[in-house]
Structure formats: structure tokens, C-alpha cells
Amino acid sequence: MSATTTAPAASPAATTRAGRSLLRNRGLLVTPVIVALTVLGVVLWINAQDLTAPGRQPEARTLDYANLWQQFIEHAYLVGVSTLIVVTLSIPLGIVLSRPSAGRIGDAVLAVGGFMQALPPFGVIILMAFSPLGFGPTSAIVALVIASFLPVLTNTVVGLRQVDPALIEAARGMGMSAGLTLRRVELPLAVPVMVAGIRVALVLNVGTATLATFIAAGGLGTPILSMLKLGRTGAAFAVAALVAALALLVDWLAGLAEQLVRGSGG
């Protein structure tokens, strides 16, 4: 007498989770493909140009790969250093302002931060150039810090304030000190919101750093501005496409980090 076995059918919940995971994985592939196609398109366009023709020497110098790479390094330096300073300053400040003892001071600081965020980035960069720091990368970095400070600060405060008070009380009831409760309970729960703020700051800085060329700070804004002055819109558009690709790549990498800290159930 033979027995037959039937494989258990997948539950609707498991099917739904599998479908969502597949959609997420496909979504993660879209941005890198767009970035790769954009860079490839720019390279093919540059290679198709006859940059040896009379009158095209400025374009040849601007679109030289070694020159573009140097300006990319300058751009990445401005974005990386400014974002690191923002994270170093705003997260500790956000932790302090999220404490109940901060009271109205926290709201006042956030209001001042909102005013700073409302300032036009171009105006901030120009003002910093006429400060004692003068022209150059240092002024650009300070301007980028001002422009991207608020998202990280706000998300740090909001993330910590949104932690369930019952969890905090339970931790304190178990004998944890305030500092230990912050490290073991509050910060792990607030990290996803904080990472989202860092993601916004990174993308803001990639775009705003193109304006650093106006104060002799280098970056990919330099070839864009020089080509626009000469009326070479094709070359300017090609470099601008590289800036857009960099912003997409940075946003994608930060999005990956955000998903990792949110966990598989996010």
C-alpha cells in the first residue's frame, strides 16, 4: 500500500513577503543600471566628438578624462568632508536636544536650524567666500555644512523622541542608567530615522557642491561653468549628467545602508 504526500501550499503571508522581497531586489538594481548607462552614455558621447578640430581645444581640455577625474576627486572631497562634519556635530547635538531636560531650548535650536536651511545655498557659499576664511575649499565645506546640517539634526531629535516611553521605563526599571538606556535602547531604535537624515544631507551636498566653483573650490561645477561661458552646452550637459549620476549613486548607497539598519522587516 503506497502513501502519497502532498507538499504544503505556501501561505498567503509567505507569498506576499516573497513578492515584496523580489520587488525590493529589482528596485535595488534599477539605480545602478541607470548610473552605469548614464556614465557609459557620457563616455560614448565624448569619444564620438572630434575634439581635435579647430576651436574645440577648450572642450578637449575640459573633457579630458584625467581632468574630469581630478575634478571628481575634488567634488567627492567636498561632499565627504562636509557630510562627516555634519554627522559629527549634529548627532551629538541632536541627542542633547532630545533629552527632556532640554525643554524649549531644543525647539528653539531646531527653529534656528530651519532658518539656516531656508537660506539659498548659493548665497551662503558667496557669503562664506567673503568671510575671514576667504575663497577656497574650506569656505565651501563650511557652506555645505550649513546647507545640510538641519536634516541630520532634525532626524536625530525626531528619531529619539519617537522611541516608546514604555521601553525606556522598562529599561530603567531593569536597573539601566540613563546613558546605558540611551546606548542600548534609544539609539538602536532611532538609527533608521537618523540614517534617513544623513541620506538627505549627502544628496544635498552632491548637488550644492557644484556651486563651489564660484569661490575657486573646484569640483565638477568647474567644467560645467566654463563650458556654459563658452556656449558649449553639450559639454556642460555631459558633465552635469555625471553629477546627476553621482547623486543617484550616493542616494542608492545610503538607501542600502538605511534598509540594512531597518532590518528585513522594514
| DSSP type of residue 64 | -
* Residue 219 lies inside a defined structural domain of this protein: yes
- Residue 18 pLDDT: 46
* Per-position pLDDT tens, the chain of length 266: 444 444 444 455 544 554 454 455 566 778 888 999 999 999 998 888 887 888 778 888 888 899 999 999 999 999 999 999 999 999 999 888 888 777 677 777 777 767 766 777 878 888 888 888 888 899 999 999 988 888 898 888 888 888 888 888 888 788 888 778 888 888 888 888 888 889 889 999 998 999 989 888 888 999 999 889 888 888 899 999 999 999 999 989 888 887 777 664 44
Q: Which long-range contacts (CB under 8 A, 24 or more apart) does 53-59 make?
A: 58/226, 58/227, 58/230, 58/232, 59/227, 59/232, 59/235
* Residue 11 lies inside a defined structural domain of this protein: no
How far apart (Å, rounded) are the C-alpha atoms in residues 50 and 60? 9
CA separation, residue 81 to residues 90, 132, 144, 151, 182 (Å):
14, 20, 9, 17, 27
* Residue 132 lies inside a defined structural domain of this protein: yes
- Residue 82 pLDDT: 93
Q: Of 183, 152, 182, 157, which is closest to residue 85 (Cα–Cα)? A: 152
CATH number of the domain residue 236 falls in: 1.10.3720.10
* Residue 162 lies inside a defined structural domain of this protein: yes
* Residue 238 lies inside a defined structural domain of this protein: yes
The continuous run of DSSP H or E covering 220 comes out as none
Tell me which residue range forms the domain holding 87: 28-50+57-262
Cβ–Cβ under 8 Å, residues 97 and 110: yes
Q: Of 58, 209, 74, which is closest to residue 147 (Cα–Cα)? A: 209
CA separation, residue 160 to residues 86, 190, 263 (Å):
18, 5, 18
* Residue 16 lies inside a defined structural domain of this protein: no
**Residue corresponding to grid cell 560614448:** 44
* Residue 185 lies inside a defined structural domain of this protein: yes
- Number of domains present in the structure of the chain: 1
* Residue 104 lies inside a defined structural domain of this protein: yes
